[in-house]
Chain A
Amino acid sequence: MNAELFENLRLELRRGCLVLAVLAELRNEHYGYALRKALADRGMAIDENTLYPLLRRLESQGLLASQWREEDKRNKRFYRLSSDGEIILKQLLDEWNTINSAVSRIIEGEPIAEEQLSI
């Protein structure tokens, strides 16, 4: 029961982070498998059944652009962040930093600084 509950909560927590990680990694162009490896190398492993549907969703939302191109005599689909994606990524990173700081303060029991309260 606890293991299942933890797994559900972990997936919930990870879901939003994956979008952020994929968008951030695609500031540089990657094809699917290379993107998977790059994310895994940085500690954010993602299985193909999650990554490819996510890439399609982000592309249909206009945050990514893709292109089929030949590399090493094989056709590969390359993804990169679109201009809309860059704006959204910046907003998401700001939000991520705010949440991260707030959660850190909550965990450590620190009060919020007065100048931050006035924002």
Chain B
Amino acid sequence: MELVDRYLYAVRNGLPKGQQDDIIAELGEDLRSEIEDLESGLGRPVNEVEVVEILKQRGHPAKVAGRYLPQQYLIGPALFPIYLLVVKIVTAVLVPVFALIVGPIAVATAPQPSHAVVQSLWDLAMAVVFSVGVITVVFAILERYPVDPKPFEKWDPRKLPRAPKSTPESRSTPRATAIAELAASLIFSTLYVSWFRTTFDVGGLHITLTPIWRSMYWPFLAVILVGGVKGYLSLIWPERIRLRFGFRVAINAVTVILACVLLNAGTWVNLAAPGFPAADIAEAARWTNFGFKIFLGVTAVMAIGDAIPEGMRIFRKKTSWNYSIAT
């Protein structure tokens, strides 16, 4: 019965303290009874394989022990909607504070404004993470030591929020999309300001971006950040999809303008490679610039293609979800 003892010992380790001996005594008795039953049916003692089969049928020790633990959650169903509301309010306050006060002050006083913009975004992200952490801890404490044990009993139907005019399910931005846009904006803006440069050395090749790229630095950063604003607004107002369409049309319009300005420049990179024939380098530069031309043209066309249906959706008639109650 060494296997049974080992099994029971493993179960014991996962059991609530104070009940371990009692539960193990009962489980041990149950196991021995089952084995005895099997032995009397077989007319011989069970072998190791049969004991293993019985133990495996009972389940992993951690799983068995888990059945004796209380159901645990950090914030229960009664408090969770309030917790979510507080998180939303705090986040909705933090973003304008950083966007309108902290960020502008940091940008105005920093030697490198673009770095200050991205630093402010990271500070905002950290402030949100810290605030959500503190709120979570507070609600977890309230869950353990409730002030009002019956929050679901004190409510008034007249105080419920009004139903939206359009169907929330069919006309809203998925939360995952909004979060992805916010995260993408944060990551891209960080990479952009950290890695932006106008000269590159690849092997023996010296690549220099033409001055037009330097003048496009802030407009590009602005487009990336506006994408983040769109994500944020979609997160706090998922049902305001016309606002979202408006942002998307605006971003696409600016993208088209930037692509046209760049296309107008005619040349986007210069190449130099000491030791290589000048004619070969000139040919490589010609093809590289041709590639840029195609890329910018395609970007402009795609932006127009995206903006047109989005623009049309702004003016599309809303679908109503109002209903009447039969009397």
Contacts and interface: CB of A to CB of B under 8 A. Distances in A.
A53 B67 CA distance: 6
B33 interface: yes
A52 B65 CA distance: 11
B25 interface: yes
A32 B26 contact: yes
15 contacts: A32-B26, A32-B29, A33-B30, A33-B33, A33-B34, A34-B33, A48-B58, A49-B58, A49-B63, A50-B67, A52-B27, A56-B19, A56-B23, A77-B26, A77-B29
Interface string B17-33: 00100010111011011
B161 interface: no
Contacts of A31: 29
B68 interface: yes
A74 B63 CA distance: 27
B30 A75 contact: no
B58 A52 contact: no
Give the residue among A31, A48, A76 with the most B Cβ atoms within 10 A: A48
A49 B34 contact: no
Contacts of A77: 25-26, 29
Nearest to B31: A48
A48 B30 contact: yes
B1 to A, nearest CB: 13
A36 interface: yes
Given A32-B30, A33-B30, A33-B33, A49 B25 contact: no
Contacts of A52: 23, 26-27, 30, 67-68
A31 B26 CA distance: 9
The B interface is mostly helix, strand or loop, or mixed, namely helix
B285 interface: no
Interface in A32-84: 32-34, 36, 47-50, 52-53, 56, 68, 74-77
A56 B68 contact: yes
A36 B30 contact: yes
Interface in B36-80: 58-59, 63-64, 67-68
A11 B67 CA distance: 16
A31 B29 CA distance: 10
A4 to B, nearest CB: 19
Nearest to B25: A75
Contacts of B32: 74
B51 to A, nearest CB: 15
A118 to B, nearest CB: 25
Contacts of B67: 49-50, 52-53
B27 A75 contact: no
Contacts of B27: 48, 52
Give the residue among A33, A53, A75 with the most B Cβ atoms within 10 A: A33
Contacts of A56: 19, 23, 68
